[in-house]
Structure 1
Amino acid sequence: MRDTLSSTISSVTDLLLRRPAAPDVLTEQTGAAFAPVSHVDIEARAVSKSFGTTPIFSDVSFRLARGEATALVGANGTGKSTLLRCLMGLIPTSGGSVHLLGQQTDETTGRQMRNIRAQIGLVSQKHNLVPRLSVLSNVLHGLLGKHPGIRHWSHSLAPQSSRETAMQALERVGLADFAHRRADRLSGGQSQRVAIARAIVSAPKVLFADEPCASLDPSAGEDVMELFFRLVRDENVTVVFTSHNIEHALKYGDRVLGLAQGRIQLDATAASLSSADLRGLYD
């Protein structure tokens, strides 16, 4: 019996010695808890802004990921447009810092800032088209950040490749047939479409939109918003837009930031909010 027991122990020992050892450390984690963090395109760190002795907002902090659409909402005078300009590096902050496409805007050189601006676009409620120039020339102006100089001021001077790129942008907004029409002969909705084409012609990574439908009637405004967000989502562009329209904020934003009383009072996913949640920001 002693021999049988010894034989059994020996067999088990042989099996254990031949069995591959379990790794000491997992080399790869899976599951939601270990999902990769999205690339951050815009980050505000305790940003404040004052004009003289008048404070506009303070301690504004958030991070916006690549491909995220964020609605910035709040009553008139809360500083939405001012915050947008701070994020773009158009005006300096009074405190804190803004990081745009990996660069801290208040520490960049002039050349670095120009490179950043060449990767962003802007659509505003004032279309800012040059009235006497053609639609195509106005769209070409969106390439000036990457190709400064007189050649991209007018379609008659622009390189063929640039004209083709501008025409493609016009096709995407449904206005290719208007390429040679003067900008001052367009309707409000058409002008805003041209402004969108100008903003997307350089294939920006980030788009800012400041009340893009404020000057349009409701029907044209809805058409413009549908078009705008269809285009940017096709290209995975990061978008920050201001709006007084609560329904637009909830429909087109992935995330909503509410500015009130000089602070960010709301930061939530649009899917988790209702119209009633936003109305309190306007009281």
Structure 2
Amino acid sequence: MIDLLKEKQAVLDVQPAQSGASFAPVLPVDIEARAVSKRFGDTPIFSDVSFRLARGEATALVGANGTGKSTLLRCLMGLIPTSGGSVHLLGQQANTATGRELRNMRAQVGLVSQKHNLVPRLSVLSNVVHGLLGRRPGMRHWSQALAPQSSRDAAMQALERVGLADFANRRADRLSGGQSQRVAIARAIVSAPKVLFADEPCASLDPSAGEDVMELFFQLVRDEAVTVVFTSHNIEHALKYGDRVLGLAQGRIQLDATAASLSAAELRGLYD
């Protein structure tokens, strides 16, 4: 199956001859991986990973457990160093950025993961205000009671967008799983990021709540033309919500194609 996917990619890589007087504008590249490799000690995770993701593009990163999807996501965000190659995020080299450069870059990036990572004893509103810490560091954004009015207003607007404005004063430990993930999404979008990473955002939810969260998440990012990279074990989600699919297997990118050109059966081949 991997060989069939490679043949399909070879066909997709052939560029048609241009014709006509006008062409679609070339979008800026927000994320670029150049021959990226990662190993932990003597254990290789992946190598020679290269791709470019355009602004406003939603990319699904798929593959079996242990292939390194989450590790690659963290390399793209500059959270962990690469072992080789380079990562460029929003025009900066993420794997070599330090200090202020790294903080400025991360302030333009949001993250939603399967673990909601809310502070249980704090209110929903305070948890969303935490999403502004990247742009506005300091004690004032540890709690909604200390935050300036503009930050509380932004947090309330984010909660309204995820349908939880009425829960602003509720403690986070009194939320359901689906509600907690909606709060995590509000926290991720409150600072108006240019890029959003989502690591298995529905893995801890039941199917119904997971579908609701995915619908909401992608409605929000489409409205703002945000660049998105998300990992998922759900093949249907990859095809439905991704514009593009990257398949990681055997330590390499084995598939890079538009979601519209793929079938569920072809994606399942990555898990063989």
TM-score by length of structure 1 reads: 0.88
Map Cα deviations across residues 8-42 of structure 1 (whole Å, 9 max, x no partner). Answer: xxxxxxxxxxxxxxxxxxxxx99477543210000
1:224 to 206, 213, 216: 213
Alignment of 1:73-222 (within 5 A): 73-222=62-211
Partner residue of 1:8? Answer: none
Match of 1:51 in 2: 40
Are positions 1:253 and 2:242 aligned together?
yes
- CA gap 1:32/1:260 in 2 versus in 1, 3 angstroms: farther
Q: After alignment, is 98-107 or 258-267 more displaced? A: 98-107
Look up the equivalent residue of 1:166 and give its one-letter code: A
Aligned counterpart in structure 2 of residue 242 of structure 1, from 231, 241, 246? 231
Shift of 1:105: 1.4
TM-score (norm 2): 0.92
Cα distance between partner residues in 1 of 2:95 and 2:66: 25
CA displacement, residues 94-151 of structure 1 (integer Å, 9 cap, x when unaligned): 0000000000113323101100000000000000000000000000000000010110
- Structure 1's 160 and 256: CA in aligned 2 closer, same or farther, altered over 3 A? same
Q: How many residues align?
A: 255
Match of 1:42 among 31, 34, 45: 31
Which of the two has higher C-alpha Rg? 1
The equivalent position to 2:263 in structure 1, one of 239, 256, 274, is: 274
SS in 2 for 1:106: coil
Structure 1 residues without counterparts, runs of 5 or longer:
1-28
Corresponding letter in the other structure for 2:40: F
> C-alpha deviations, 1:258-283, integer Å up to 9, x for none?
00000000000000000001000011
Partner Cα distance (2:251, 2:48) in 1 = 9
Percent identity, please.
89
What is the CA–CA distance in structure 1 between the aligned matches of 2:38 and 2:95, rounded to whole Å? Answer: 14
Mapped partners of 2:62, 2:37: distance in 1: 17
Q: Which residue of 1 aligns with 2:61?
A: 72
Distance 2:39 2:26 in 1: 33
SS at match of 2:253: strand
Q: Output the CA distance in 2 between the equivalents of 1:201 and 1:43.
A: 25
- What corresponds to 1:10 in structure 2? none
Deviates more, 1:105-114 or 1:78-87: 105-114
Q: What is the CA distance between 1:82 and its match in structure 2?
A: 0.1
Cα deviation, 1:217-253, whole Å, max 9, x if unaligned, reads 0000000000000000000000000000000000000
SS, match of residue 280 in structure 1: helix
**Structure 2: gaps of 5 or more residues:** 1-17
Q: Residues 282 and 156 from structure 1, CA distance in 2 versus in 1: closer, same or farther, beyond 3 angstroms?
A: same
Structure 1 residue 81: Cα displacement:
0.1
